Amino acid sequence: MATRRPEARQGVRPVFALLPLSVPLVLAAATLSFSASDTVVGAFPPIRYDRAAVSDLPLRNHSVLLPVQPGDTLDALIQSAGVSRKEATTLVSELSNHVNPRRIRTGELVRVEYGPENDLRGIGLSVGSEGRLDAIRSDDGFDIQFTPAVVTKQEVRVAGTIESSFYEALQQTGESPALAAQLVEAFAWDVDFFRLRKGDWFSLIAEKQFSDGSFTGYGPITAARFHHNGQTYEAFRFVDSNGNVGYYSPSGAPLRKQFLRSPLKFSRITSGYTNRRFHPVLKIFRAHPGIDYGAPVGTPVMVTADGVVASAGFGRGEGNMVKVRHSNGMETYYLHLSRFATGVRAGTRVRQGQVIGYVGKTGLATGAHLDYRMKQRGSWVNPLKIKAAPADPLTGAALASFRKQADLIRPQLPSPGSLTASADSAPTPPASM
Q: How far apart are CA 355 and CA 74, in angstroms?
A: 35
**Strand, coil or helix: 77:** helix
Query: Could you tell me the CA-to-CA distances from 174 to 266, 367, 422 in Å, in that order?
Result: 20, 35, 8
- Taking the domain 18-148, which CATH number applies? 3.10.450.350
CATH H superfamily, domain 268-385? Glucose Permease (Domain IIA) (2.70.70.10)
Measure CA of the first residue to CA of the last residue in the chain; give whole Å.
36
Kindly write down the DSSP assignment for every residue of 213-268, as one continuous string. TEEEEE----EEEEEETTEEEEEEEEE-TT--EEEE-TTS-BS-BSS-S-SSSS-E
Kindly write down the DSSP assignment for every residue of 381-428, as one continuous string. E-GGG--PPB-PPP-HHHHHHHHHHHHHHGGG---TTS--IIIIISPP
Q: How far apart are CA 158 and CA 173, in angstroms?
A: 7
Q: How far apart are CA 405 and CA 376, in angstroms?
A: 39
From first to last of its 433 residues, the chain has per-residue pLDDT tens of: 444 444 433 333 333 333 333 333 333 333 444 333 333 333 333 333 333 333 333 345 677 788 888 878 888 888 887 788 888 888 888 888 777 766 677 777 788 888 877 788 888 887 766 777 888 888 777 788 888 878 888 899 999 999 988 888 888 888 887 788 888 888 988 887 878 889 999 999 999 888 767 777 888 999 999 999 889 999 999 998 878 788 999 999 888 888 888 898 766 787 766 665 555 655 555 678 889 998 899 999 999 988 999 999 998 888 999 999 998 889 999 999 999 999 999 999 998 889 999 999 999 888 899 999 999 889 999 988 887 666 678 889 999 999 999 999 999 999 887 664 433 433 333 333 2
| Residue-level pLDDT at 283 | 54
| Residue-level pLDDT at 196 | 87
| Residue-level pLDDT at 65 | 80
| Residue-level pLDDT at 267 | 67
Is residue 326 within 8 Å of residue 332, measured between CB atoms? Answer: yes
| Residue-level pLDDT at 148 | 81
Kindly report the backbone phi and psi dihedral angles of residue 248, in degrees, each rounded to the nearest multiple of 5, phi listed first.
-130, 155
Query: Check: CATH 3.40.640.10 for 152-257+393-425?
Result: no
Beta-carbon neighbour count of residue 208 at 10 Å? Answer: 20
- Domain-wise residue ranges, the chain: 18-148, 152-257+393-425, 268-385
Q: How far apart are CA 410 and CA 422, in angstroms?
A: 23
**CA 221-222-226 angle, 5° bins:** 70
| Residue-level pLDDT at 10 | 37
Q: How far apart are CA 413 and CA 155, in angstroms?
A: 12
| Residue-level pLDDT at 411 | 94
Query: Could you tell me the CA-to-CA distances from 124 to 76, 114, 394 in Å, in that order?
Result: 15, 12, 51
β partners of residue 292: 271, 371
| Residue-level pLDDT at 103 | 63
Q: β-pairing, 285-288 with 330-340?
A: unpaired
| Residue-level pLDDT at 229 | 85
Q: β-pairing, 307-315 with 300-302?
A: unpaired
Kindly write down the DSSP assignment for every residue of 31-45, as one continuous string. S-PPPTT----SSS-
| Residue-level pLDDT at 128 | 65
| Residue-level pLDDT at 367 | 86
Query: Could you tell me the CA-to-CA distances from 262 to 104, 142, 167, 268, 383 in Å, in that order?
Result: 37, 55, 18, 10, 9
- The CA R_g of the chain, rounded to the nearest whole Å, is 28
Is residue 370 within 8 Å of residue 357, measured between CB atoms? Answer: no
| Residue-level pLDDT at 129 | 67
Is residue 386 within 8 Å of residue 259, measured between CB atoms? Answer: yes
DSSP conformational letter for 172: T
Q: How far apart are CA 373 and CA 273, in angstroms?
A: 9
Judge whether 18-148 and 152-257+393-425 match in fold. yes
